[in-house]
Amino acid sequence: MIIGSKQSIRLHAHDNVAIALSDLSQGSNLTEFDVTLLGYVPRGHKVAIKEIAKGDNVVRYGQVIGQATQAIAIGEHVHVQNMGMGAHLQDYAFSKSSEPLPPISSPRTFNGFHRENGKVGTRNYVGILTSVNCAGSVARFIEEAANKSDFLKDYSNIDGIVPIVHSTGCGMSSQGEGYQTLHRTLMGYANNPNFGGILLVGLGCEVLQVSSLVDRQEPSAAFRYMSIQSEGGTRKTVEKGLQELHALASEANKATRKPAPVSQIMVGMQCGGSDGYSGITANPALGYASDLLVRHGGTTILSETSEVYGAEHLLTCRAVSEDVGKKLIDRIHWWEDYCARNGGEMDNNPSPGNKNGGLTTILEKSLGAVAKSGNSPLMDVYQFGETIDKKGFVFMDSPGFDPCSVTGQVASGANIIIFTTGRGSVSGYKPTPCIKLATNTEMYHRLQEDMDLNCGDIVTSGISIEEKGSELFELIIRIASGEETKSEALGYGGVEFVPWQIGAVM
């Protein structure tokens, strides 16, 4: 049990409930809100800090999570006995809460790598992309040969060589969504601004042909390709690959960091190994930083569709248009079919355990995850790995599985990943740096060498969501400008490329 400096926490300035940070007895005084408890409130449960009339909204994270089913007095425990989710909260209310946040005009910049297409990288890697698992070892051999020859000493502006290796690319149908998803993902990596050059390696006889990736990506000073079977086997491909890498690196090395507006930052938001603190510390702090970045003209991406399921109303009401809201609903329907045909089912309803923990409605439960996205309007909805071409807050469809979801975000163009974790996930996603936020102080101290920022002090030291979100915003700018994340320092990113494999393995 973490003992904090506060007894409760309010997650957004508009909230009319606070969350108890420990079991609180009747008569306890929440000095921070000048509220005296009218009854016992268990840890994690809600207490009214404003009067709520019967039928009025209950607001948490600045968002409606239900309505009072009877009048609720200040200091009263708010839960199933006096709160519910009216039917109108279960309609999509497309675009009803999509007020743009006030833009911030003060020009903030970071130092990034400006690419020819106008995008800006936060890193300058040379990638060795593979069309199929069968080319993965050769991609790694080329990297090893480069490292052995002290390749990078002549290329001081390059951050490293990154083999992008995976488990698929053959034994699959050459049409349909499985193929299209993988194709989009590989094209997305080739085009991520954190790569200054790409060497594409195939085997030759695979379903996903190198030529299908080359059609839309002409060979250039920043893009080369080859196939092992054409080159004459492993050794010859590695030798030629090393030459190609030198050509790519000479070109990529010309790039240097130059000031760019923070609107060029695209953040993929992710949570993994969540705990009871995720929804009250790291996720809302990230939500605050997301709103700040959006107000500066930047882009933030929410994903993990399976964690929004059943509470998609949280996002449809924030959609800038009914069309955008309906794109999300289309994906939800796709997921229902996807799970059904795979013998699974999605169900995000608060379980008895969730209710014991203080979560009253499905909206409130999913808000723990959605809180990462703050309160900005939802500008568009994208497929997994689809190029994101809008500014502001957007949604990209993906599973909740961390490496897979992040892979889609990087393919969509993310040049920063922010990953909140309660249990302590350790991972990296080259070419994109990944900032780890600890949701609780105990884990932060235990895994300090892996965590970039402690959000547990929101509970343990009374830091406000706004302070923490602002701190994170500054950290984003420093990391985008080249400061190393913990996972980069440790060398992560060699095995975390996980394309979403959809469909039968044949």
To the nearest 10 degrees (0 to 180), the angle between helices 136-148 and 234-252 is 60
Q: Is 472 in the site for Ca ion (CB under 5 A)?
A: no
- Least distance in angstroms from the C-beta of 377 to its own copies: 28
Q: Which of 5, 70, 167, 211 binds its own copies (CB under 8 A)?
A: 167
DSSP letters along 27-82, please? T-EETTTTEE-SS-B-TT-EEESS-B-TTPEEEETTEEEEEESS-B-TT-EESTTT
Q: Tell me the window of 45-53, 75-83, 113-121, 400-408 that interacts with its own copies (CB under 8 A).
A: 400-408
Q: Does 124 bind its own copies (CB under 8 A)?
A: no
CA-to-CA separations, 246 to 31, 117, 126, 152, 497, in angstroms, rounded: 64, 23, 10, 9, 24
**Among 295, 447, 464, 470, interactor with its own copies by CB under 8 A:** 447
Considering CB distances under 5 to 8 angstroms, the limit depending on partner class, which of Ca ion, its own copies, none binds residue 148?
Answer: none
Name the phi and psi angles at 187, rounded to 5: -60, -40
Is the Cβ of residue 143 or residue 386 nearer to its own copies in the bound state?
143
Q: For residue 134, give the amino acid letter.
A: C
What is the longest distance spanned by two Cα atoms in the chain? 80
Which x/- pattern, by CB under 8 A, does the window 355-394 give for its own copies?
Answer: ----------------------------------------
- Which one of Ca ion, its own copies, none interacts with residue 491, CB within 5 to 8 A by kind? its own copies
> Is residue 276 involved in binding its own copies (CB under 8 A)?
no
Nearest-CA neighbor of 9 among 44, 52, 42? 44
Neighbours of 495 (CB within 10 A): 12
- Among the listed residues 159, 402, 452, 471, the single contact to Ca ion using CB under 5 A: 402
**Per-position x/- string for 344-383, each x denoting binding to Ca ion as judged by CB under 5 A, each - no binding:** ----------------------------------------
- In the DSSP assignment, the letter for residue 319 is B
139 or 379: CB nearest its own copies:
139
Q: Name the strands in the sheet holding 109-114, side by side, starting at the edge strand that comes first in the sequence.
A: 120-121, 109-114, 257-261
Least Å from the CB of residue 142 to its own copies: 12
Residue 261 near which of its own copies, Ca ion, none (CB within 5-8 Å, type-dependent): none
Q: Are strands 160-164 and 125-130 parallel, antiparallel or unpaired?
A: parallel
Is 334 one of the binding residues for its own copies (CB under 8 A)? no
Q: Does 401 contact its own copies by CB under 8 A?
A: yes
Q: How far is the CB of 272 from its own copies (least distance, A)?
A: 8
Note whether 399 binds its own copies by CB under 8 A.
Answer: yes
Choose from its own copies, Ca ion, none: what does 181 bind? Cβ within 5-8 Å by kind. Answer: none
Residue 84: how many CA atoms within 13 Å on its side-chain side?
9
Q: Is 176 in the site for its own copies (CB under 8 A)?
A: yes
Task: Determine the Cα–Cα distance for residues 174 and 194; give it in Å rounded to an integer.
Answer: 29
271 binds, among its own copies, Ca ion, none (CB under 5 to 8 A by kind): Ca ion
From 109-117, 224-232, 293-301, 353-361, give the range in contact with its own copies by CB under 8 A.
224-232
What burial class does residue 470 get, using C-beta atoms within 10 Å of its C-beta: 0-12 exposed, 13-18 middle, 19+ buried? middle
Measured from the CB atom, the residue of 438 and 479 that comes closer to its own copies is 438
**Residue 147 interacting partner from its own copies, Ca ion, none (CB closer than 5 to 8 Å by kind):** none
329 binds, among its own copies, Ca ion, none (CB under 5 to 8 A by kind): none
The answer to whether residue 462 forms part of the interface with its own copies (CB under 8 A) is no
Applying CB under 5 A, does 161 fall inside the site for Ca ion?
Answer: no
Q: Which of 90, 133, 217, 387 binds its own copies (CB under 8 A)?
A: 133
Handedness of CA 416, 246, 222, 202 (dihedral sign): negative
* Closer of 121 and 272 to its own copies (Cβ): 272
Q: Kindly determine how many residues on this chain lie close enough to bind Ca ion according to the rule CB under 5 A.
A: 4
296 is an interface residue for its own copies by CB under 8 A: no
> Distance between CA 366 and CA 363 in Å, rounded?
5
For tokens 């675009």, what's the residue? Answer: 95
Q: What end-to-end distance do the CA atoms of the chain give, in Å?
A: 50
* By CB under 5 A, residue 74 contacts Ca ion: no
Distance (Å, whole) CA 84 – CA 67: 6
Q: Pick from 404, 411, 463, 480 the residue near its own copies by CB under 8 A.
A: 404
Q: Which of residues 467-496 bind its own copies (CB under 8 A)?
A: 490-496
CA 336, 373, 125: angle at the middle one, nearest 5? 95
> CA-to-CA distance for 303 and 404, rounded, in angstroms?
11
Helices (H) then strands (E): counts for the chain:
15, 23
Rounded to an integer, what distance in angstroms lies between the CA atom of residue 405 and that of residue 304? 7
Residue 251, judged by CB atoms within 10 A of its CB (0-12, 13-18, 19+), counts as middle
Residues in 229-288 at the binding interface with Ca ion, rule: CB under 5 A: 271-272
From Ca ion, its own copies, none, interface partner of 332 (C-beta below 5 to 8 A by class): none
Residue 322's SS3 state is: helix
Give the binding site for Ca ion (CB under 5 A): 271-272, 400, 402
The footprint of its own copies (CB under 8 A) covers: 133-134, 136-138, 140-141, 165-167, 170-173, 176, 178, 203-205, 228-229, 232-235, 272-273, 306, 338-339, 341-344, 346, 399-404, 423-428, 446-450, 490-496, 498, 500-506
